[in-house]
Amino acid sequence: MLFNSLSFTIFLPIVFFLYWFATQKNLKTQNILLLVCSYFFYACWDYRFLFLLMFSTLLDYFTGLKMENASGKKNKKTWFWISVIINLGFLGVFKYYNFFIGSFADGLSLLGIESHFWTLNVILPVGISFYTFHGLSYVIDIYNDKIKAEKNFVDYALFVSFFPLLVAGPIERATHLLPQIKKQRTFNYTQAIDGLRQILWGLFKKIVIADSCAAYANIIFNNSAEYSGAMLVLGALFFTFQIYCDFSGYSDIALGTARLFGIELLRNFAFPYFSRDIAEFWRRWHISLSSWFRDYLYIPLGGSKGGTWMKVRNTFIIFIVSGFWHGANWTFIIWGLLNAIYIMPSILFNTNRNNLDMVAQGKLFPTGKELLQMITTFSVTVIAWIFFRAESIAHALQYIADLFAGLFSVTAYREAFSYLSHEIGWIIPALLVFFIIIEWLGREQQYAIQKWGFSYSKTVRWTFYYAILMLIFYFAGTGNEQEFIYFQF
C-alpha cells in the first residue's frame, strides 16, 4: 500500500475515524487498533512476510524481558547476542546472501575456478532493514541499562510496527516513541492540521517532483552510452532531486500521518542540499540512520576519543557499513566509501562541526562564500549519487568519464537544451525552481511549508494549498507513478 495510492487515501481516513471516535479515546483500544491496522498495512505488500515481522518483534520483546531478569552479566550477554545474531542473520539471508555468494563466485572465477552455488529466489521483505534496526536499538539500550524492558507486548509491537514508519522509517528509538505510545493522547486540532500540511508537501515532493524526475533520470541512466556530457549532467541532476524528494517526501508523509494520531516521529531531513560541507550534509540527510550509526557503531568503536587514526578508521567503517545497509551491491559500498573520503578533510582538520546552524539564518540570501560552499557540496554529492543509481561500478565510472569528457562541448549543451525544449518541456525545470525557492524560504522550519504564508491573507494561503493539490492530482494522472526508492532497503 503506497502512501501515494488510492488504497491509502481510503485506508487513512478510516483508521483516523476509528482511532478518535470508535475507540472512545481509550488508550489500550487505540494501541490495539493501530497495531492491527499496521499489520494489515504491511500485509498488503506481501502477507507471507508478516510472520517475519511478528517473529522479529516477539524475539526482541522476550529478549528484553530475559535480559532485564537475567541472573548475571554472562546470562544477560547471552540473551543479547541471541537477539543480535538472529536479527542480523535474517537480514543477512534475505538481503545479502546472494550478494556474498555472487561475489565469492566472481572471486573464484578470477582464479580460473568455475563454481555454481545455490541462490535465493525470493523478494526482499519490505522494510526489513528499518524494523530490524528498531529492534536492535531497543535491545542494545536495554543491554546498556539505558531503558527498562517493555512489559506490554502491544505497546512494544506498535513501537516496531507503527504503519507510518514501518517500511521506510524514520528509524525510531524506544526512548522517544514508546513513552508517546504509553501516554494518553487527545486530539489536537493544530497538530492535526500541521500533519495534513506536511502530508501535502510530502505528496508534492513525491508525485510532482520525484516521479517526474525519475522518468527522465531512468531514460538517461539506462541509455547513458548514447548521450553527451551535458545530457549526463541532466540525468545526474534529475536523480539527485528524485532521491531527495522521494525519500524526504516519504518522511514528510510519515511524520504528518503520525501527527494525525497525536504522535511525533523523529525528524529525518533538514534541507540537506543547502549544506555548506559534507559533514553538515550528513547531519541533515536521513538523520535517524546517521544518528543510529553514530550511537550504536561509531561511539562503541571509540568515536573520536582515540586520536586521529581512530577517528579516520571509525569514520570509514560507519560510511562503508551505511553504504552496505542501503543495498547488496558494490555500488553502494563505493558510494559510502566516496562520502567517507569527502568528509575526511573536515575530520582531519576538526572542522566537521563548523556549520551547525542553518545557512544564512535570519537572512534572505547567503553570502558569496556560503553560496560557493553550497554549490561545491551539492556538486560532489551529485557525483556520489551516480554510484548510488548506476547498475554497476563500471557503469558509474563510464558515466562519470563520459560526463566530464563532454562537459565543455558546446554541441553537447545544444543537445541538452533541445532535449529540454522538445522532450521534457520547461514545466519540470520550472517546478524544480519553484520547489527550490519554497524549500529555501522555509529552510528554518521543520518542513518547507510549515508556516508558509501565515503573514498572508487566508485567500493567498488557500490559493497556494489548492495550487499544490491541483499539481498533485494532475501529475498523479500522468502515469509516472514510481515506488518509493527506499522500499528496496
Helix (H, G, I), strand (E, B) or coil at 183: coil
What tens digit of pLDDT does each residue of 419-454 get? 777 677 788 899 999 999 999 999 999 999 998 878
- Tens-of-pLDDT digits for all 489 residues of the chain? 788 888 999 999 999 999 999 988 899 999 999 999 999 999 998 888 899 999 999 999 999 999 999 988 999 999 999 999 999 998 888 888 777 777 766 676 767 777 666 666 677 788 899 999 999 999 999 999 999 999 999 999 999 999 999 988 899 999 999 999 999 999 999 999 999 999 999 999 999 999 999 999 999 999 999 888 888 999 999 999 999 999 999 999 999 999 999 999 999 999 999 999 999 999 999 999 999 999 999 999 988 787 888 999 999 999 999 999 988 889 999 999 999 999 999 999 999 989 999 999 999 999 999 999 999 999 999 999 999 999 999 999 999 999 998 777 777 777 777 777 767 778 889 999 999 999 999 999 999 999 887 878 888 999 999 999 999 999 988 777 777 887 766
Residue in the structure block whose three cell numbers are 541532476: 237
Beta carbons within 10 angstroms of residue 361's beta carbon:
8
Q: Which amino acid is residue 120, in one-letter code?
A: L
In degrees, rounded to 5, the angle at the alpha carbon of residue 295 between the alpha carbons of residues 290 and 298 is 80
Give dist(CA 316, CA 339) in Å, integer.
9
User: CB neighbours of 387 closer than 8 A, spacing ≥ 6?
Assistant: 331, 332, 334, 335, 338, 393, 396
pTM exceeds 0.95 for this model:
no
Q: How far is CA 341 from the centre of its chain?
A: 22
Positions annotated as catalytic residues are: 326
Q: What is the DSSP letter of 66?
A: H
Give dist(CA 50, CA 40) in Å, integer.
9
Beta carbons within 10 angstroms of residue 62's beta carbon:
15
Give dist(CA 170, CA 173) in Å, integer.
10
